[in-house]
Amino acid sequence: MPVIAEHRQVQRHLSAFYGTELAHKATNRVPAVESCRSWAAHPSRRQGWAGAIVCALLLFIFLAPAFAITGALLWAVVTLAMTTVLKGAALISTLRSPVAPPISSTPSELSGFRLPRVSVMVPLFKEKEIAGALITRLSRLTYPKSLLQVMLVLEAGDKVTRETINRSDLADWISIVEVPETDNLRTKPRALNYALDFCNGSIIGVWDAEDAPEPDQIEQIVTRFQQAPDNVACLQGVLDYYNSRSNWMSRCFAIEYATWWRMLLPGVARLGLVVPLGGTTLFFRRRILEELCGWDAHNVTEDADLGLRLARYGYTTEILPTVTFEEANCRPWPWVRQRSRWLKGFLVTWCVHMRSPGRLLKDLGLRRFLGVQTLFLATFSQFALAPLLWSLWLTFFGVSHPVAATLGPTFMAGVVVLFILSELLNLTLSALAVSKRGHRHLLPYVPTLPFYFALGALAAMKALYEFVRSPFFWDKTAHGLAPIPVEEPMKTPSHSTSVKNRPRDGPLPASAAS
């Protein structure tokens, strides 16, 4: 018999009766052929192969050290050339087409369509320091609250975050979903897959715990989706950092990601290459996200993997100039832990999609296929083999390089020239990325970036070890290490679209009128 019940009551009962079943579904949502979860069935085989490869390499180094080092250096040079070409092409593309996709800013241009419902998921885990600030930030959003659903996604056993949230007053448009504990897997993509079944929006978004989105971000997303072609499946926002002045490491972190988000990634998108998504400020057309079965629950860089799967299915991603502010990693060991997870995920993603190289080539075409090799395999290789490239600095101090005898002086000269050009290109990209208003205070620190990336080699070694021993281990990023500013540097909505007197999917209740 019909019973009147609040949405939250329905949600709680669905979780109580079907939570375990939905959690299992969330774990195995992506087809096995597109997932890395099959690795869990044969860990000893993977570790055996890894042990055999390491023994073979050690034997090669012992028997022919010069040739072993030469081979490694040659691979480092090849991947350096790949990444340099990609960065150069992305720079040229960005400088030629600096204008982002147009976004309507007048109500008259939007009066012909109904504003959609938007659901944004915010996965949280042991967020004692940041959860309270998150709720304050979300309250600044200007999209009609009757059409907005923000879901705080918690793990069932996470008492720390639950107690923190219980001390806050949640608005009607903010709800909590707890992901049941069904196995040892506890990852962000699993939580997102579970929460997706409780979302009611036709546009699905993802924010991180420490995010501070622009107040009019949802309006920009909705507007662009209305104007974009049907094959645009995802809109990726830009990340910036509110603690870029905390210390030297936070400054370098902000420079690195200003380069990525404002120079390289827009260029990659304009070149028509595969866009490896970031983990936050992502918005999807729901029907396409469900068509691709959501996220791979076992992949620790589920975002990059999903970006690649979108491209393989013929969909595109656009970079939208809407900014979300985050906390820049500003301590060495948390930085290594975060970067090792990203590098491990890139390697896992490459291995999954290279199970059938011919099929990947057919799905993407040669240009995008080569782009995948550069973005995933060459990127990991550059971090792992960075010490070999650093050894090229010996030649500037009159010291003969150990492999000069095997490669010859002419080839070594060419390698050194490539190395110098690559470094100059990196510094140029970074300088251009922080040369505009709001980032100019970072310019003096651009020359120090080579020292900042020194920790990357350690992160790559940690990633390689975990790739063999624990590929699904999620090394959680520590939040709340930097002081949270009272007034966060969020842009005042200068190009927001007016939402008054426009068709809506439903009435605006009094509780959401503010």
- Tens-of-pLDDT digits for all 514 residues of the chain? 888 998 888 888 888 899 999 999 999 999 999 999 988 777 888 889 889 999 999 999 899 988 999 999 999 999 999 999 999 999 999 888 765 554 544 444 555 678 999 999 999 988 876 667 888 889 899 999 999 999 999 998 888 888 888 888 888 899 999 999 877 788 999 999 999 999 999 999 999 988 899 999 999 999 999 999 999 999 999 999 989 999 999 999 999 999 999 999 999 999 999 999 998 999 999 999 999 999 999 999 999 999 999 999 999 999 999 999 988 888 999 999 999 999 999 999 999 999 999 999 999 999 999 999 999 999 999 999 999 999 888 777 778 877 888 888 888 889 989 999 999 999 999 999 999 888 999 999 999 999 999 999 999 999 999 999 999 998 877 666 666 554 444 444 334 333 433 433 433 333 333 2
**Residue recorded with tokens 């000069």:** 404
- What local confidence, expressed as pLDDT, does residue 479 receive? 63
Alpha helices in 240-390 (DSSP H): 248-259, 265-270, 286-291, 302-312, 332-353, 357-364, 366-372, 379-384, 386-390
Q: Give the Cα separation of 395 and 489 in Å (integer).
A: 45
Q: How many CB atoms lie within 10 A of CB 493?
A: 15
CA-CA-CA-CA torsion for 124, 217, 95, 316, nearest 10 degrees? 70
Residues whose CB falls within 8 Å of the CB of residue 379, separated by 6 or more in sequence, listed in order? 83, 343, 346
Residue 455, token pair as written in the block:
């920790």
Asked whether the CA dihedral 439, 483, 485, 138 is positive or negative, the reply is positive
Give the Å distances, CA to CA, from 234 to 39, 201, 262, 460: 29, 15, 18, 29
272 CA to centre of own chain: 19
Q: Give the Cα separation of 3 and 25 in Å (integer).
A: 28
Say if CB 401 and CB 471 are below 8 A apart.
no
Q: Give the Cα separation of 393 and 401 in Å (integer).
A: 9
- What local confidence, expressed as pLDDT, does residue 336 receive? 94
Say if CB 275 and CB 265 are below 8 A apart.
yes
Say if CB 307 and CB 223 are below 8 A apart.
no
- What local confidence, expressed as pLDDT, does residue 387 receive? 92
User: Could you tell me the domains of the chain?
Assistant: 7-31+39-98+116-496 (3.90.550.10)
- What local confidence, expressed as pLDDT, does residue 438 receive? 85
Query: Parallel, antiparallel, or unpaired: how do β-strands 316-326 and 232-241 relate?
Result: parallel
Please provide residue 304's backbone torsions phi and psi, each rounded to the nearest 5 degrees: -65, -40
- What local confidence, expressed as pLDDT, does residue 106 receive? 47
Residues whose CB falls within 8 Å of the CB of residue 10, separated by 6 or more in sequence, listed in order? none
For the chain, the farthest-separated pair of C-alpha atoms sits apart, in whole angstroms, at: 87
Beta bridge partners of 204: 119, 284
3-state secondary structure of 45: helix
**Residue recorded with tokens 């023994």:** 55
Say if CB 296 and CB 305 are below 8 A apart.
yes
- What local confidence, expressed as pLDDT, does residue 82 receive? 97
Q: How many CB atoms lie within 10 A of CB 43?
A: 13
3-state helix, strand, coil in the chain (%, to 5): 55, 10, 35
Give the Å distances, CA to CA, from 438 to 123, 242, 258: 29, 11, 11
- What local confidence, expressed as pLDDT, does residue 482 receive? 61
